[in-house]
């Protein structure tokens, strides 16, 4: 397999950092001192061309419009289908000229299936990051800041939607098109929401462990992080922002990146 078809990883040192935000939403409070072990994280979200290798090798269902997720209500079905059409794979093949874009239209189960497959390719136990690992990676060397680059919103730093009326004229962009954060990671805010491993609990910051926290053992919602190209609420781009969705969710704005321990 070509090197570009295997995600490139960078090491994140273990240690302590402040997770959450006392100025954020209720489920981000209290900000707390958390410790995570060292891990490696992919430099970019998993791309269409990388996911295509998995689909071809395993026969896994390619990104498509299937049973609509619970988050798509009847009144939103038509616009959802229209916006998703650009990202649908036809005849098992990905959209042309989008190989370097982050893969979308993937559920949490699709993302974990890719992790299992990639583990066999790279000889390490690849998985989705925990919320704590994701936030540690997103903050880089800007601990305590709102965004991966600092405290001020900056349209030159990420792919988001500053003007909602432009939604039909925007979309995902190739990975790596914006400056990296302090850990050398790209697209940690904007482009696509990223699945993490954790189930969602509103009170986990008040009741959960602070040593390699992994969220509750079960739940109703999963967590996505980082905002996306459809985020016109810039609050969603903050490092501490938590967004909960049913695990059957798939969308033109949700992808993932991967990690392994050590």
Residue 165: per-residue pLDDT: 76
Closest CA to 104 of 224, 259, 185: 224
- Cα atoms found within 13 Å of the Cα of residue 227, Cβ hemisphere only: 28
- Domains of the chain listed by start with CATH number: 3-261 (3.90.1580.10)
Percentage of the chain lying above the pLDDT 70 cut: 99
Strands 254-256 and 193-199: parallel
| Average pLDDT for the chain | 95
Residue 127: per-residue pLDDT: 98
pLDDT digits (tens, 9 = 90+) for 199-241: 999 999 999 899 999 999 999 999 999 999 999 999 999 999 9
Angle at 195 between CA 187 and CA 106, to 5 degrees: 100
Q: Is 11 helix (H, G, I), strand (E, B) or coil?
A: strand
Instruction: Please list, in sequence order, all residues whose beta carbon lies within 8 angstroms of the beta carbon of residue 14, skipping any fewer than 6 positions away.
Output: 35, 36, 37, 38, 39
pTM for the complete prediction? 0.96
In the numeric block, the tokens 């900056």 are attached to: 154
pLDDT digits (tens, 9 = 90+) for 164-183: 777 878 999 999 999 999 99
Q: Indicate if the pLDDT at residue 3 is higher than 70.
A: no
> Which two structure tokens, joined as six digits, stand for 125?
């136990």
Cα R_g (the chain), whole angstroms: 17
């Amino acid at each position: 397999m070509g090197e570009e078809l295997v995600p490139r990883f960078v090491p994140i040192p273990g240690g302590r950092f402040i997770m959450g935000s006392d100025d954020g939403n209720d489920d981000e409070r209290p900000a707390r001192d958390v410790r995570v072990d060292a891990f490696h994280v992919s430099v970019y979200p998993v791309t269409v061309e990388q996911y295509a290798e998995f689909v071809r090798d395993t026969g896994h269902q390619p990104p498509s419009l299937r049973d609509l997720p619970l988050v798509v209500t009847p009144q939103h079905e038509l616009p959802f289908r229209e916006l998703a059409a650009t990202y649908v794979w036809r005849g098992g093949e990905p959209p042309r000229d989008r190989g370097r874009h982050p893969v979308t239209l993937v559920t949490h189960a699709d993302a974990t299936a890719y992790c299992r497959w990639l583990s066999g390719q790279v000889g390490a136990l690849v998985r989705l990051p925990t919320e704590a690992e994701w936030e540690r990676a997103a903050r880089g060397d800007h601990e305590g800041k709102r965004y991966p680059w600092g405290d001020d919103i900056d349209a030159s730093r990420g792919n988001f939607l500053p003007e909602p009326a432009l939604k039909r004229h925007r979309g995902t962009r190739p990975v790596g098109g914006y400056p990296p954060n302090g850990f050398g990671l790209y697209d940690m805010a904007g482009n696509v929401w990223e699945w993490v491993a954790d189930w969602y609990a509103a009170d986990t910051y008040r009741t959960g462990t602070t040593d390699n926290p992994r969220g509750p053992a079960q739940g109703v919602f999963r967590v996505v992080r980082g905002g996306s190209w459809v985020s016109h609420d810039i609050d969603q781009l903050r490092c501490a922002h938590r967004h909960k969705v049913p695990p059957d969710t798939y969308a033109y704005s949700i992808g993932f990146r991967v990690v392994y321990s050590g």
